[in-house]
Structure 1
Amino acid sequence: MGLPDTPFAREKKSWPASRPDFMLHPAHTILYMRLADVTRADVLAAVEEFDRLGREEFLDKYGFGTARTYFLEVNGRQYDSKAIMGYAHGVSQGQLLRGGDFTGGEASVVHHLRRLGFVTRTHQNPPWTWDEVVLACELVRDNGWRWVTPTDPRVAELSELLQLYRAHPVEERGPDFRNTNGVARKTADIATQHPDYTGKPTNGGQHDRAVLMAFLERPTEMAQQATAIRQATLDEAADPADVADLDLDGLSADEGRVLERLHLRRERDPKLRRKVIEAYKRRHATVACEACGFDFQKTYGERGADYIECHHRTPLHVSGPTRTRPEDLILLCSNCHRMIHRTSPWLTPGELVSLIERQRGQ
């Protein structure tokens, strides 16, 4: 396969025939390398060659160092992902790539391996989310604001719970993901941030101090939030149906999402939505947004009949993940619903109505 007609491609034509393509300058790699052309069969051929030679000989022969973070997993065995992709590119394109020819990592090699249906593993653990730190801080609070040792049964219980937490896909977890040592260390990260602690704080994560201060300043609210996160994590593990993340785009990747996912799943329950609409129709002539008054049927005719979305009147971190009743939900048009969910923290229905009224009054 030839290079596209670019200045770099024309420069390459002037190279001596003895200059191998794997010496391409990394700055030009994007013009040359087409990871998208590598197929699943190409990767499996690289795995076969890896198994035939053994790891050390394969890496040495094809110019790669050992992987530090990401590994391809096939039939229970792990392979250096970048080296496998470099060889697979040679199978696909007739030109092997060496370690210096391209970058590895989640955004390139790992992304394409996953796209082809392969499982990848990491030897590093993801940062703790807000949800996880809240649960760890609850444990520190229960222990008199002191850290907890790895042998404490409460640490083992929290470790088991965090294994169920779905914000971190399995392929992004290291082999020691949220084990008892890691959980105990996190309790120390939190405890050493306490205002009464006189020693040197440990090097923790970005949420440790913020969560601790939230517990100290708003103890009742945070206790409710911890209870809700715990129950929602168990609920998700028991019924792991996925929810589209369109309404979660306003949250950063490291914020807690377990309550938000549960919130959206319940709002989208078709049986519950039907009950809410039927109850509303018994009191009103038509189905309309309770915030702005938009009537889908009036605008779209029969196509819009009884179309509306549902939203919780009370956030789950306040109500807890209890059984949702029709009276717990408010009917909203798609626009109003999206405005509520657009950024974190979400607006309450009352805040949204006030916003609409202010804008209309201008």
Structure 2
Amino acid sequence: MSKATNEHLLQMQGQIQSINEELSSQRATLGRLSAELVAQRQENDEFRRNLLNELKALRRQNQSLLDNLYDNNLLLGSNDRSEVKPLRNYDLQTPDGKIYLGEDEYIYIKEADATFDSRIDTGAAVSSISARNITEFERNGKRWYRFTIEANDHNIEVEAPFVRTSIIRQSSSQKSIERVVVALNIKVGDYSAQTEFTLTDRSHMQYPVLIGRTMIQDIAVVDVSRDHIQGRNKDTFLVLNGDDYEKAMKEGNDPNAEYKAKRESMAGQVAFPSQEYGDNLGPNSENALPAVRNQRQDEANDKKLRQEQQAKANDAATTAQDKATDKATDKDAAAKDDAKSDSKADADTDSKADDAAKKEQ
């Protein structure tokens, strides 16, 4: 190897070493910038949370001030309490009347008679609901669909009217899928509406119900930093998301224990014998109801007794009326006899007077 070649190699090694040092310096700079970005992002998130908390505190303060103004009749300028209107809860509504929705919300669906822990997804245009065993049928000349919601180890049968067919384009496979769209009545918080849902199998997903922007536009503001803002009706069957349901079951907590207890209490329980009445409709023999056959017999006896009493009353009234009629008849006959006697006496008197007059002549 010549001297020139060695010098060239040494020169190249020097350049490579210089490049490596520069790359190491750039890596260190990138690492530092990345750490700064992470710290800045965390700081921004913390600032955003603090700002949201301050805004909520300001809403509550404003509401308190308005309450005081209304209470002191300063805002209305009147002593008429009937003009005072209830204020909005600004933790649940915006000042312009829109409701707040969190990342997850409890949505009650009337046709299923159940409340679903649902995901609010502004990226989806139309809402969707988990559906299996989809069957088309006709009702009153219109097209309807029957389907099953499988969630939380329960099967809920639902029937809903057909609205239209939607074409869903999947970005992953570049394929189009045709899905049925039905109308369902929903309620979240105090807001109720009929909205459209596409039928799709979501049994393998966390949430059986997904709410799209078509339903929430113009009526709600989504705050992804919160969840379950609107609360739920505890008198309805609850369907949790997959993870929460599995966690509750592992801990031995049935999310619908209170609901089931209320349903059993309303519908009655197993009948127990009663010492006094026999069969009854409750578990407490002291509060037992009469058996149906005994109740029917008692009703028949009461009806028969009422009929007998009514018949006796009718007979007594008829007898009294007959006596009154006979008495009136006797009085009329006596009056007629008296009248005849008076007429005969008058006639005899007139006859005697005539005879006396003839003798004098």
Q: TM-score range by the shorter chain?
A: under 0.3
Bigger share in helix: 1
Larger Rg: 2
Bigger share in strand: 2
Relative contact order, higher structure (CA 8 A, sep 6+): 2
Superposition TM-score, scaled by structure 1 size? 0.24
Superposition TM-score, scaled by structure 2 size? 0.24
